A and B are shown apart, each in its own frame.
Chain A
Amino acid sequence: MIASLSDPMAPSPFRVQRVRKETYDTFTLELDPPHSRDGFSFAPGQFNMVYVSGVGEVPISISGDPGTPETLVHTVRSVGTVTQKMCARGRGSVLGVRGPFGSSWPVEEAAGSDVVIVCGGIGLAPLRPALYYVMANREKYGRVVLLYGARTPEDLLYKTELPKWRGHFDLQVEVTVDAATNGWRGSVGVVTTLIPPARFDPESTVAMVCGPEVMMRFTLLELERRGVPAENTFVSMERNMKCAVGFCGHCQFGPTFICRDGPVFRYDQIQPYFATREI
């Protein structure tokens, strides 16, 4: 736990050990905790506030393996001033980290059930730790399915890992793109089209969904159509965040604070707010 209870707004310095380019605008950063002996423990689905000295701070989901806390991994999309600097500074630079914050995917509670992970775009990043956990404890789960959609083949994350996951005999991995480019031999179509044929038992499944809100809304409808109850479906929400500790008020979503009641929510508990425009 890096966020000090006495001063939750003070970050700790983490050095960037490695930068991997995932797509033209998305990078995976591997960071060294300052006290490497302890590592950085977190639960899948949690996020950190990551600070670029003198520029600003943004919430980023942790995208690494909770089983290897020696390295802190973040997959960052370079979309604004802070993230652009974060990705550009490179190996050896120092970032400030506060966290981990927020709720986590129900990977322990899902034991005994099938697990269906549906994600779109960068939504795979906060779900990758859950997949790592499940694969590390594979015998506890029934069927495990990963359904992943991206805009084009170039926009797929973790391009070397995806085929490795696909190679597991006990993991169903389906990948699709919205728009194909020349040479793509895989599925073309939105990620929701992967749900009807996926191999899982809706009555005994825990579904975890993450991606743009519109994609999540369509996905939840398809899961419902297949008979997965809302109490067994989990989503990860996102809002503007300044403090991550429930004081700045920015991340409110109905009566919840996404920084502390989320970002992972059980769908039935936020269903009314999910359907409300501009809430």
Chain B
Amino acid sequence: MRKLSQGELAVLERDQLQWLVQALGNRDYRVVGPTVRDRAIVYDDVASLADLPVGWTDEQDGGTYRLRKRADEALFGYANGPTAGKKFLHPSVARLWRAKTGGNGFQIEEGPEGSSKLAFIGVRPCDLQAIAVQDKVFLDGKYSDPIYKARRGDNFIVAVNCGQAGGTCFCVSMETGPKATSGFDLALTEVLEAERHYFVVEVGTKLGGEVLDQVPHKAASAEEKGVAESIVAKTARQMGRTMDTKGIKELLYRNYENPRWEDVAKRCLTCGNCTLVCPTCFCTTVEDVTDLAGEHVERWRKLDSCFTMDFSYIHGGSVRSSTRARYRQWMTHKLATWIDQFGPSGCVGCGRCITWCPVAIDITEEASAIRQSEKSKQKGA
């Protein structure tokens, strides 16, 4: 069969997917994908299809995450886990450089790590958009982040369109899913029928076509394409949450003093879970360390959260010392100022912040409450 090009669709039977994993391994990619660990879906190294969450699904709601066994053996029958691409592209701990000190001050011996080849199997469309958003943060400005650049430079992405929506998902509202539209090399839609288990594969790039060429496949029939499309359409109707994004940037700019912030501050623990699981949150801190003799020094970078008291510390105090200010900062950044800073919204509608918040604060509910409060004010309520 001739090599497929961008936009064309093929079909892989379930077992043939293994060939894809192998083809990537043969090209020296480190292959990562969803696995089950610690009662959650965790992205980790994947060598075979058996490493995937076969037959598992998740139940998600505000402050709730449970894995449940499915009646079938779907490979991607869940919504998402707490982390995704960020774990690998924007690592939580990284060394920036290592230096030796001496009479002439210091000399940097080793800079940040070099490039590596990374293949992702099973990236949700929302997480694809999150990667695109972080690309804008780290690669589009005057400076680019060498670590992100090295890890992102040689990626192979196999996206997986969603066959069911999660309880906290709202990708439809954010226009980021449930179907992947760009940013992937291959995109799969899983189809489980009584007699057959297969994947409809969309080719996203020339490289995607080349790798697919090494995997036994067939061209997709019109019927198979239709089945894949209806699965995705069904998912789009099942969304657990919605967010009205019309004028949301201006809405939040107008409402810095809205009393709703006091309300959410009573509930928020400033634990920072939302910033840890959010696939676009990127804030980091820098730590300079030394050995006891002061002869070797290193600079490390670690993930940070705007919810900590330290985050905005200057001159003996924090600029944002109240919970109210810190929650407001996170949400206003995510939904509003992000757009002015980078272009797209910072929110991809994955719902993780809602699921993993210990007190079930719901960003869609907060946005809606602020919008409603303006309407009530207009009515004179």
Contact = CB atoms under 8 A, between A and B. Distances in A.
Interface string B141-169: 11101100000000000000000000000
Interface in A1-38: 3, 5-10, 13-15
Contacts of B336: 255
Contacts of A242: 284-286, 304
A239 B304 CA distance: 16
A243 B284 contact: yes
Contacts of B333: 252
A199 to B, nearest CB: 33
B161 to A, nearest CB: 31
Contact of A249 (B106, B257, B284): B284
Given A10-B108, A257-B341, A249 B256 contact: no
Interface in A60-104: 79, 94-96
B290 A54 contact: yes
A51 interface: yes
A95 to B, nearest CB: 8
Interface in A153-180: none
Contacts, number: 120
A95 B257 CA distance: 43
B282 A249 contact: yes
Contact of B106 (A5, A13, A238, A250): A13
Given A9-B96, A238-B314, A53 B297 contact: yes
Contacts of A15: 105
B321 interface: yes
Contacts of A94: 104-106
Contact of B304 (A249, A255, A260): A249
Most buried by B among A5, A56, A255: A255
Interface residues of B, number: 53
Contact of A53 (B105, B112, B322): B105
A76 B67 CA distance: 55
Given A243-B284, A248-B286, A249-B306, A9 B294 contact: no
Contacts of B369: none
Contact of B337 (A8, A247, A255, A278): A255
A54 B312 contact: no
Interface in B95-132: 96-97, 99, 101, 104-108, 111-112
B137 interface: yes
A114 interface: no
A53 B290 contact: yes
Contact of A10 (B111, B257, B288, B311): B111
Q: Which has the most chain B C-beta neighbours within 10 Å: A15, A54, A276? A: A54
B299 interface: yes
Contacts of B311: 240, 250
Contacts of B324: 278
Contacts of B314: 238-240
A246 B294 contact: no
A273 B362 CA distance: 26
A112 interface: no
B289 to A, nearest CB: 7
Contact of A255 (B313, B316, B340): B340
B283 to A, nearest CB: 3
Contact of B286 (A239, A243, A254, A272): A243
B319 interface: yes
Contacts of A276: 256-257
A278 B315 CA distance: 14
A240 B312 contact: yes
Interface string B315-355: 11001111011000100010011001100000000000000
Given A239-B314, A255-B341, A8 B143 contact: yes
A156 to B, nearest CB: 20
A7 B111 contact: yes
B321 A278 contact: yes
A245 interface: yes
Which of B105, B141, B311, B313 is the most central at the interface, judged by chain A CB atoms within 10 Å of its CB?
B105
A278 B146 contact: no
B29 interface: no
Interface string B162-206: 000000000000000000000000000000000000000000000
Given A243-B284, A279-B329, 20 more contacts: A3-B143, A9-B96, A9-B112, A15-B105, A54-B290, A96-B106, A238-B314, A239-B319, A242-B304, A247-B137, A247-B284, A249-B284, A250-B283, A255-B336, A255-B337, A260-B142, A276-B257, A277-B325, A278-B319, A279-B325
Q: Which 5 A-B pairs have the closest CB atoms?
A: A94-B105, A54-B290, A249-B283, A13-B105, A278-B325
19 contacts: A7-B111, A10-B96, A13-B105, A53-B297, A55-B290, A57-B288, A94-B105, A94-B106, A240-B312, A240-B314, A242-B284, A245-B141, A246-B143, A249-B283, A250-B283, A255-B341, A272-B253, A278-B325, A279-B319
